[in-house]
Amino acid sequence: MEFADIHIHALSGVDDGARTEDEMYSMIDKAYRSGTRVICFTPHCAPKYFGFNGDKINKSFRKAAKYVQRQYPDTQVYLGNELQYAREFSSWIKSGECRTLNDTRYLLVDFPLNEEKEAIVRGVRSVLSTGYQPILAHVERYTHLNKDLKTIYELKSDGALLQMDSQSPVGGFGFFVKLASRRILKEGLIDLISSDAHGVGDRTPDLSAAYKYVLDQYGDSRAERLFAANALKILKGKDIREEF
Ligand SMILES: [Fe+2]
């Protein structure tokens, strides 16, 4: 199985992901070894925490792309951001400070993990109202949302797509997140699973344990959709929504 990972903090020196160039290359090596063949780098776009890091990101991306081309010519790389929702987000996109995924209409958006669920719903709706297609990052990790299936259904029927972190269903964020994520998966609410990797020690780019879980529980075609097919469509700007 060849994975497509479209949520990963592997670019170095731009956020709280890879700290050094060496670590960036190690993350890419690890992703490749575990079967990933498409990577969309998504450093945080959160000026409050990391400043406006667009230039640094471009520089780091060029190095990463060169490395991948040399070491792993059968792998494709793309660029995006994980936007921490703020009212000004569309002006940041227009000015180039923040990117959608591979310049499509798909926008990976996250919130503080302890954000009130009403604020998450409002933020997602405001992204929808500007014509971007929000992908809510790691829906299973928001403390005030992850047990509330009704609100998660609502987000979906509003038009949001939902991403899950690969660590969640296999216990990497603890028992309660594991439970919540498995429940959300069971309801068929998840559109894609990505690593959200930040290094090579703890939150790594290795998707294989989560893939094995989904494959065992839900079979081939669902696993293929969540770990590759939907991400590839997103990067091409194609529609992935089924009737919901
Ligand atoms: Fe992330």
Report the separation in Å between the CA atom of 140 and the middle of ligand 1, taken as the mean of its atom positions: 13
pLDDT tens, position by position, 46-103: 999 999 999 999 999 999 999 999 999 999 999 999 999 999 999 999 999 999 999 9
Q: Counting beta carbons within 10 angstroms of the beta carbon of residue 221, is it exposed (0 to 12), middle (13 to 18) or buried (19 or more)?
A: exposed
Report the separation in Å between the CA atom of 164 and the middle of ligand 1, taken as the mean of its atom positions: 10
Whether residue 64 lies inside any domain: the answer is yes
Whether residue 243 lies inside any domain: the answer is no
Rounded to two decimals, what is the model's pTM?
0.97
Report the separation in Å between the CA atom of 113 and the middle of ligand 1, taken as the mean of its atom positions: 11
Distance CA(191)–CA(183), nearest Å, equals: 14
Distance CA(128)–CA(122), nearest Å, equals: 10
| Confidence bin at 241 (pLDDT 50/70/90) | confident
Q: What is the pLDDT of residue 243?
A: 45
Number of domains the chain is built from? 1
Distance CA(106)–CA(238), nearest Å, equals: 10
Whether residue 185 lies inside any domain: the answer is yes
Q: Residue 102 has what DSSP assignment?
A: G
Report the separation in Å between the CA atom of 88 and the middle of ligand 1, taken as the mean of its atom positions: 20
pLDDT tens, position by position, 161-185: 999 999 999 999 999 999 999 999 9
Q: What is the pLDDT of residue 242?
A: 60
Strand stretches in the chain, DSSP E: 3-5, 36-41, 44-45, 76-79, 82-84, 106-110, 133-136, 161-165, 192-194
Report the separation in Å between the CA atom of 217 and the middle of ligand 1, taken as the mean of its atom positions: 25
Range of the domain at 85: 3-235
Whether residue 240 lies inside any domain: the answer is no
Torsions phi, psi for 178 (to 5 deg): -60, -45
Report the separation in Å between the CA atom of 195 and the middle of ligand 1, taken as the mean of its atom positions: 8
Report the separation in Å between the CA atom of 7 and the middle of ligand 1, taken as the mean of its atom positions: 6
DSSP 14-36: SSSS--SHHHHHHHHHHHHHTTE
Total number of residues shown for the chain: 244
pLDDT tens, position by position, 103-149: 999 999 999 999 999 999 999 999 999 999 999 999 999 999 999 99
Report the separation in Å between the CA atom of 40 and the middle of ligand 1, taken as the mean of its atom positions: 12
Report the separation in Å between the CA atom of 167 and the middle of ligand 1, taken as the mean of its atom positions: 12
Whether residue 221 lies inside any domain: the answer is yes
Report the separation in Å between the CA atom of 191 and the middle of ligand 1, taken as the mean of its atom positions: 16
Q: What is the pLDDT of residue 2?
A: 98
Whether residue 205 lies inside any domain: the answer is yes
Whether residue 242 lies inside any domain: the answer is no
CATH number at residue 190: 3.20.20.140
Whether residue 139 lies inside any domain: the answer is yes
